[in-house]
């Protein structure tokens, strides 16, 4: 009896994780058998798609690549057949499965993303009306905004009910595509913020929450085809690296990676790629939408892994913290995205591997990301958001994300949670059958976890690695058994200076002062803070550029909380002025490095923000 399609797919999903003699031939034979099948089930087709993408990123041999690429380049035809059969297409529109060639997507995008999409695929994108035109909240927003660029619309919008919004739009746009016309109108709107006019325009557009639909057809930006040919492939002839084989301390102790700064044009291509990567996955980060193409750098890290990183342009920077975003190409396939936000030597890192590639050397690639960020940002204290380890994140709880970080050497930022983690480690060591309860994993995810480079111990890391089994399954990562070694790479649990720091704490302290001393008036506290700090530092803001003055405004809100600022030494004041001015300068990393060199400022920030 011939194998069923389900049997073949199961064998392929197993084969893609097998390496060595005969592995590539087995995979190639399975691809031939499966590609000849007449798919009638959407779930089965999705399984085939994900296996193909994984194999494109982690190929076992050169001979497989052309066959895999041909199957991916024609995959939209299989999607079309499934649609023609009347199957439920929602299978292809989930958070982890969207973006396949031949499918259609719909989302509400911010102004920058919507403008980029309208320029990128003008014939494939449109405003998705449907229920939008009759939505009460949407109607209120349209009534406030549309009269700015549609003459006499107030005759309807101010007094009438059941306004035919679509008719007004069609009459005004003529033959121009609806979204393109809309974007042009917003680009021409007068704004009042002369320093950052784009922010005001963004806020107005975002208030409308316009749903946008785009058709992927067989476009290169689809998840199916959004890969490039690398300069050199890395073929896997041995098993993929597991977490138990990775020592974060040893990786971070290696020579820093070498970065190549890209040209403006090359940087634009990188920004185009990451926008495509995020768009088709219903994801968006501040830095992937608004990254500065002039700041892009690339690091080639081995094993077919290349990472790109970049900062924000001066007009888009955060008030205090420095920002880095990035993503990883594995053999030319985008497999994750990265975000790091920091001040001084402390950074918060978000690292998200796309679902398809989570069995692909995630721990080693994560270590390379931290190694790169350490070199770029000069960080010695790395923290991970609670969400990443399970706070309001069922997927992280299911995968045992806390233990992933713990075994790499992270410690809990709260003393009570550190003690809880140590008790769990003792239970694991004592009982092979013990499983960390979900309730406990939720508790462990209530606060940040930290990794401090000066506390890492390569010797302990080596001992920990040697005491591990050669392979750990996803289930084992979630529920570590007694093979957990007491010589784990986790730090000793001593509290660190950044454990309770947050810029949110700083901001709320500023806002309490605003309520207490300025009647809740943000303009008054800004003006007063700039005056106080300017006097203390002996500067004349009138001689500064508009973007430098905006940086001064933001920093002054915090610096005005420091008693005795005017008594700082001339050198301390001079260095502080350099920090403020560099915050809006060409290099965001120079700004971050300067904050690392000012010991007195660091002390005050920790006092006020902890």
The side-by-side arrangement of strands in the sheet containing 305-310 is 259-261, 297-302, 305-310, 322-330, 333-343, 346-353, 381-384, 449-452, 411-412
d(Cα 365, Cα 14) in Å, to the nearest integer?
22
Residue 487, pLDDT score:
36
177, pLDDT greater than 90: yes
CA distances from 273 to 220, 267, 385, 387 (A): 10, 10, 26, 26
Overall average pLDDT of the 538-550 stretch: 95
**Residue pointed to by tokens 């030597």:** 345
Overall average pLDDT of the 340-358 stretch: 97
- In degrees to the nearest 10, what's the CA dihedral of 219, 221, 225, 229? 120
Which residues contact residue 298 at a Cβ distance below 8 angstroms, ignoring those fewer than 6 apart? Answer: 259, 260, 262, 270, 306, 307, 308
**CA gyration radius for the chain?**
27
DSSP for 293-306, written as a single string: GGG-EEEEEETTEE
Residue 267, pLDDT score:
98
528, pLDDT greater than 70: yes
| Cβ-based burial of 492 (10 A; exposed 0-12, middle 13-18, buried ≥19) | exposed
Residue 477, pLDDT score:
36
In the three-class reduction of DSSP (H, G, I as helix; E, B as strand; rest coil), residue 145 is classed as: helix
d(Cα 402, Cα 413) in Å, to the nearest integer?
13
Residue 594, pLDDT score:
98
d(Cα 528, Cα 515) in Å, to the nearest integer?
14
333, pLDDT greater than 60: yes
Stronger pLDDT, 252 or 489, i.e. the higher one: 252
Overall average pLDDT of the 594-601 stretch: 98
Stronger pLDDT, 443 or 458, i.e. the higher one: 443
50, pLDDT greater than 90: yes
Overall average pLDDT of the 227-255 stretch: 96
Q: Which letter does DSSP use for residue 152 in this model?
A: T
Count of CB atoms situated within 10 Å of the CB of 467:
14
Average pLDDT of every residue of the chain: 92
213, containing H or E segment: strand 211-215
The first and second tokens of residue 171, run together, are 């009459």
Residue 196, pLDDT score:
72
Burial 399-409 (b: 16+ CB within 10 A, else e): bbbbbbbbbbb
Reported as a single tens digit per residue, the pLDDT across 450-481 is 999 875 443 333 332 333 333 333 333 334 33
489, pLDDT greater than 60: no
d(Cα 499, Cα 486) in Å, to the nearest integer?
24
Reported as a single tens digit per residue, the pLDDT across 281-317 is 999 999 999 999 999 999 999 999 999 999 999 999 9
Count of CB atoms situated within 10 Å of the CB of 158:
9
Where does the pLDDT of residue 127 fall: very low under 50, low under 70, confident under 90, or very high at 90 and above?
very high
Residue 464, pLDDT score:
28
Overall average pLDDT of the 91-111 stretch: 95
> Quick check: 199 and 207 in contact, CB under 8 A?
no
Residue 455, pLDDT score:
57
Count of positions (residues) in the chain: 610
Residue 67, pLDDT score:
97
Residue 139, pLDDT score:
87
d(Cα 83, Cα 93) in Å, to the nearest integer?
13
d(Cα 486, Cα 490) in Å, to the nearest integer?
10
Overall average pLDDT of the 480-506 stretch: 68
Q: By C-alpha distance, which of 257, 276, 258, 266 is closest to 334? A: 276
Residue 480, pLDDT score:
39
Residue 492, pLDDT score:
62
**Residue pointed to by tokens 């892009």:** 296
Reported as a single tens digit per residue, the pLDDT across 181-211 is 999 999 988 877 776 778 888 888 999 999 9
Residue 491, pLDDT score:
52
Stronger pLDDT, 482 or 115, i.e. the higher one: 115
Among 46-55, 256-265, 424-433, whose mean pLDDT is lowest? 424-433
């Amino acid at each position: 009896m011939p194998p069923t399609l389900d049997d073949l797919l199961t064998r392929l999903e197993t084969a893609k994780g097998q390496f060595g003699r005969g592995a590539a031939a087995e995979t190639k034979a399975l691809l031939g058998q499966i590609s000849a099948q007449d798919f009638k089930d959407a779930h089965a087709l999705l399984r085939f798609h994900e296996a193909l993408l994984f194999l494109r990123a982690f190929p076992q041999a050169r001979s497989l690549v052309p066959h895999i690429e041909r199957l991916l380049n024609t995959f939209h035809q299989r999607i079309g057949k499934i649609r023609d059969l009347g199957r439920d297409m929602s299978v292809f529109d989930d958070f982890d499965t969207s973006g396949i060639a031949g499918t259609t997507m719909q989302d509400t995008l911010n102004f920058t993303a919507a403008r980029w999409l309208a320029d990128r695929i003008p014939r494939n994108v449109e405003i998705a009306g449907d229920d939008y035109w009759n939505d009460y909240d949407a109607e209120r927003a349209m009534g406030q905004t549309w009269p700015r660029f549609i003459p006499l619309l107030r005759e309807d919008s101010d007094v009438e009910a059941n306004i035919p919004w679509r008719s007004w739009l069609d009459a005004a746009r003529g033959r121009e595509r609806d979204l393109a016309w809309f974007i042009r109108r917003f680009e021409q709107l007068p704004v009042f913020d002369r320093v950052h006019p784009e922010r005001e325009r963004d806020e107005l557009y975002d208030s409308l929450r316009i749903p946008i639909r785009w058709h992927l057809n067989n476009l290169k930006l689809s998840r199916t085809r959004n890969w490039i040919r690398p300069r050199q492939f890395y073929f896997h002839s041995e098993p993929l690296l597991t977490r138990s084989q990775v020592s974060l301390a040893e990786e971070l102790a290696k020579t820093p990676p070498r970065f190549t700064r890209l040209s403006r044009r090359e940087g634009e291509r990188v920004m185009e790629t990451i926008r495509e990567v995020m768009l088709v996955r219903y994801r968006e980060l501040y830095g992937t939408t608004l990254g500065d193409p002039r700041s892009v750098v690339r690091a080639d890290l081995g094993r077919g892994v290349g990472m790109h990183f970049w900062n924000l342009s001066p007009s888009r920077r955060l008030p205090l913290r420095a920002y880095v975003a990035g993503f990883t190409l594995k053999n030319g396939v985008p497999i994750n995205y990265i975000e790091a936000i920091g001040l001084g030597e402390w950074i918060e890192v978000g690292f998200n591997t796309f679902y398809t590639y989570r069995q692909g050397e995630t721990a080693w690639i994560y270590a390379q990301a931290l190694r790169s960020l350490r070199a770029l940002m000069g960080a010695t204290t790395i923290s991970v958001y609670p969400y990443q380890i399970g706070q309001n994140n069922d997927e992280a709880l299911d995968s045992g994300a806390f233990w992933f970080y713990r075994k790499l050497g992270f410690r809990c930022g709260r003393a009570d949670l550190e003690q809880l983690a140590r008790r769990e480690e003792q239970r694991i060591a004592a009982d092979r059958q013990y499983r960390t309860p979900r309730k406990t994993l939720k508790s462990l995810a209530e606060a940040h976890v930290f990794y401090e480079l000066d506390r890492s111990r390569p010797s302990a890391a080596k001992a920990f690695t040697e005491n591990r089994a050669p392979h750990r399954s996803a289930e084992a990562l979630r529920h570590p058994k007694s093979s957990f070694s007491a010589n784990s790479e986790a730090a000793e649990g001593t509290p660190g200076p950044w454990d309770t720091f947050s810029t949110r704490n700083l901001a709320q302290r500023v806002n309490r002062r605003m309520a207490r001393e300025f009647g809740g008036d943000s303009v008054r506290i800004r003006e007063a803070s700039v005056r106080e700090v300017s006097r203390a530092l002996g500067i004349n803001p009138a001689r500064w550029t508009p973007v430098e003055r905006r940086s001064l405004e933001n920093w002054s809100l915090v610096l005005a909380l420091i008693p005795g600022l005017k008594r700082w030494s001339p050198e301390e004041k001079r260095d502080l002025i350099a920090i403020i001015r560099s915050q809006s300068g060409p290099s965001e990393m120079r700004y971050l490095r300067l904050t690392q060199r000012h010991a007195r400022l660091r002390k005050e920030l920790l006092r006020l923000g902890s």
